[in-house]
């Protein structure tokens, strides 16, 4: 597609439920990132995928968070047993394989845990 | 890990004036820096980037300055317009960060008529 696409754009879930967020990167971009942005805050790094290399999971806040990516395409971020503090906008970005290149962001998924 | 931070959380300027947004970084091994603009309800948008072998780079109405000696980055916006109102983030990256970008907290720029 023309840009990074995320779905759903909004998600309201009950505390304790699992949620799955989807990201479609720009075609040809081998690097994919997930970030979390709480209201009025900066971007918090969660996880990074680069091609077939092992992902950098150092930013995942707990074992309730996991992410997968199939090859160099779609990625899903799963949050199990959601808590109210998980409420945030989850942003996905992709970039070309080269080191130090611009990352293009999607519009984000706004997650509200009630 | 080391982090990127911003000096000012908010900045208010008059339309037509020049704006300067500052950013301090602490990781001396960072070799790539980007400025992003984020409007309400949208994802961050690329403005301009600079590599560590440069100290200045200019775009359309924007200039990024990099001072590696004091680990300081700034974004200058010329003739600020109402459409420039947004939150601005600096980000740093490099091989030391596993190629992922680390973002600062952001500065909110408000352009008044």
- Concatenating the DSSP letter of every residue in B30-89 gives --EEEEEEE-TTS--EEEEEEETT-SEEE-SSEEEEEETTTTEEEEEESS--GGG-EEEE
Does residue B62 contact residue B76 with C-beta atoms inside 8 Å?
Answer: yes
* B44 chain-A contacts, CB cut-off 8 A: 43, 91, 105
* A35 chain-B contacts, CB cut-off 8 A: 103
For residue A43, give both structure tokens: 């971007």
Does residue B30 contact residue B92 with C-beta atoms inside 8 Å?
Answer: yes
Residue-level pLDDT, tens digit, chain A, 114 residues: 579 999 999 999 999 999 999 999 999 898 899 999 988 888 899 999 988 888 989 899 999 999 999 888 899 999 999 999 999 999 999 988 655 678 899 999 999 999
pLDDT at residue B2, rounded to an integer: 35
pLDDT at residue B112, rounded to an integer: 93
**pLDDT band at residue B1 under the 50/70/90 scheme:** very low
| pLDDT surpassing 90 at residue B104 | no
| Bridge partners of residue B110, in order along the sequence | B12
Q: Which of residues 4-33 of B touch A (CB under 8 A)?
A: 31-32
């Amino acid at each position: 597609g023309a840009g990074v696409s995320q779905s759903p754009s909004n998600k309201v879930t009950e505390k304790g439920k699992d949620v799955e967020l989807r990201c479609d990167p720009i075609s040809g971009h081998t690097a994919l990132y997930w970030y979390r942005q709480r209201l009025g805050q900066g971007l918090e790094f969660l996880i990074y995928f680069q091609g077939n290399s092992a992902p950098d999971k150092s930013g995942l806040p707990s074992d309730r968070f996991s992410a997968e990516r199939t090859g160099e395409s779609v990625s899903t971020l799963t949050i199990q047993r959601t808590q109210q503090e998980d409420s945030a906008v989850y942003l996905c970005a992709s970039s070309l394989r080269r080191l130090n290149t611009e990352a293009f962001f999607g519009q984000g998924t706004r997650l509200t845990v009630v | 890990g080391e982090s990127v931070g911003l000096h000012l959380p908010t900045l208010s300027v008059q339309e037509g004036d020049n704006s300067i947004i500052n950013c301090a970084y602490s990781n001396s091994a960072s070799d790539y820096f980007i400025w992003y603009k984020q409007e309400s309800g949208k994802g961050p948008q690329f403005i301009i980037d600079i590599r560590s072998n440069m100290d200045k780079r200019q775009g359309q109405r924007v200039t990024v300055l990099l001072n590696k000696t004091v680990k300081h980055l700034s974004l200058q916006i010329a003739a600020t317009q109402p459409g420039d109102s947004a939150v601005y983030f600096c980000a740093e990256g490099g091989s030391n960060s596993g190629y992922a970008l680390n973002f600062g907290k952001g500065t909110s720029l408000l352009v008044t008529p």
